[in-house]
Structure 1
Amino acid sequence: MMRNRGFTLVEVLVALAILAIALAAALRAASSSTDAALTLRSRTLASWVAQNQVNEMRARRVFPDIGRSEGQVEQGGERLRWQMEVGASPNRSFRRIEIKVYAEGTPDYVLATLVSYLARVNVQ
């Protein structure tokens, strides 16, 4: 009596199909995770740009004029554009500052927004 050892062609094809589906799902999960990490990196760099703008004004003891300004900066190898809007507050000794940071080439997608207040500092 002869015993067949091994798998049939159908069994091998089913196993390959299951493996292909599993690998495709793993690839999609890895791709999604990579995209999320890149987005988080860009948002972190953008928040640093906004914080740097406010901290520079604090360090220089600048009491900004009401209005809008903008600029470009490179942070972590990425070109980012910021817009700053300075407004009045109920207390005339404070200014409300709102900074929005965008990736270069995407004027409609805000990566980070920072709202802060600066006080008038009397230098003696």
Structure 2
Amino acid sequence: MKRGLGGFTLIEILVALAVVAVALAAGSQATTALMRGAERQGEVWLAQLCAENALTQLRLQRQLPPTGDSSSDCEQGGRRFEVTVSVSPTPNPNFRRVDALVDTGEDNRRYRLVNLSTIQGRY
């Protein structure tokens, strides 16, 4: 009786290659999602710095800020952000609500990154 040579059939090899291809595709998508998340987290952190800087500038003036909106550009880490500071009255005339809104500076994909609020009092 002739005994066959040991080894894998063509079908078994093709199935194994298909499984490996699916696993590699899933791994690639997971890596891409992690990279996007890390990039977004860095962008939000830089925007947070811009918002905190805007609120600190108002605090350092040591006077009750006038009501209204003002916009300025902020560059952090080589990225440009637009900061809008909105000052609104509160029921107590000795305090004002101050909101710092930070958007991306790129016109083709502008969106809100940070909304930071505080209450500032009369000195």
Q: C-alpha root-mean-square deviation of aligned residues, in Å?
A: 1.3
* Counterpart AA for 2:54: Q
Unaligned runs of at least 5 residues, structure 2 = none
In structure 2, C-alpha distance between the alignment counterparts of 1:103 and 1:62, rounded to whole Å = 29
Percent identical pairs in the alignment equals 35
Alignment: residue pair count: 120
Whole-angstrom distance in 1 between the partners of 2:100 and 2:55: 9
Specify every segment of 5 or more residues in structure 1 that has no aligned partner in the other structure, as ranges.
none
Distance in 2 separating the partners of 1:9 and 1:44: 53
Residue matched to 2:116: 114
| Alpha-carbon distance between aligned partners in 1 of 2:38 and 2:64, rounded to the nearest angstrom | 37
CA deviation string 1:17-53 (max 9, x = no partner): 0000000000011111111111111112112211111
Letter in 2 for 1:82: V
Deviant stretches of 4+, over 3 Å = none
Give the TM-score normalised by the residue count of structure 1. Answer: 0.89
**Paired residue type of 1:112:** V
Provide the residue aligned with 1:90 in structure 2: 91
| TM-score in terms of structure 2 length | 0.90
Paired residues for 1:10-89 under 5 Å: 10-89=11-90
